[in-house]
Amino acid sequence: MAQETTYYKPEDLKKFGNIGEFEPDLAKKFFDYYGSVFADGALSAKEKSLIALAVAHVVQCPYCIDAYTTDTLEKGATEEQLWEAIHVGAAIRSGSTLVHSVQALNKVKELGV
């Protein structure tokens, strides 16, 4: 058999619900909370799904990218909407890297280079 080259297996996504096997109470609380978070509210379920897709890219979770790409399509999102959401995540990630350079700038000045 070919050697596994990754810890991530697409079929494991379907087993997400099994995480309650050894700790059902906390898992139930999590899934109840999760369900409430993604229900239609002040933001529509579709908007929430697009946010989830952006965050999935930022935290680089392949399971969530898989799940929320499908979910946004199911909710009728356009490809443009998917990619704009992903770019929002990317912009925040790069912006948050760059904004820390203010600290570097301060240090450079403090050291009087």
Partner 1 sequence: MKSLLARGSELASSKEQLKILTEVSEKLNLPSFSAKLKEAGLFPLRPTGVDILQVNVGKLCNQTCRHCHVDAGPDRREIMTRETMQECLVALATPGVTTLDITGGAPEMNPNFRWFVEEASKFGKKIMIRCNLTILLAGEKYRDLPEFFAEHKVEVVSSLPYFQKRRTDAQRGEGVFDRSIEALRKLNSLGYGIANSGLVLNLVYNPVGAFLAGGQSTLENDFKKELKQVHDVQFNSLFALTNMPISRFLESLLENGNIDAYLEKLVTAFNPVAATGVMCRNTLSVGWDGSLYDCDFNQMLDMKIEGTVSKISEFNKSVLDSREILLHQHCYGCTAGAGSSCGGSIA
Residues 61-100 that bind partner 1 (CB under 8 A): 70-71, 73-76, 78-79
Identity of the residue, 32 or 74, whose beta carbon is nearer to partner 1 in the bound complex: 74
Binding of residue 112 to partner 1 (CB under 8 A): no
Identity of the residue, 73 or 90, whose beta carbon is nearer to partner 1 in the bound complex: 73
93 Cβ contact partners less than 8 Å away, ≥ 6 residues apart: 58
Phi-psi group of 77: left, alpha or beta (phi > 0 → left; psi -120 to 50 → alpha; rest → beta) = beta
User: Of 26, 39, 43, 45, which one interacts with partner 1 (CB under 8 A)?
Assistant: 45
**Residue 111: exposed, middle, or buried by beta-carbon count in 10 A (0-12, 13-18, 19+)?**
exposed
Site residues, partner 1 (CB under 8 A): 14, 44-46, 70-71, 73-76, 78-79
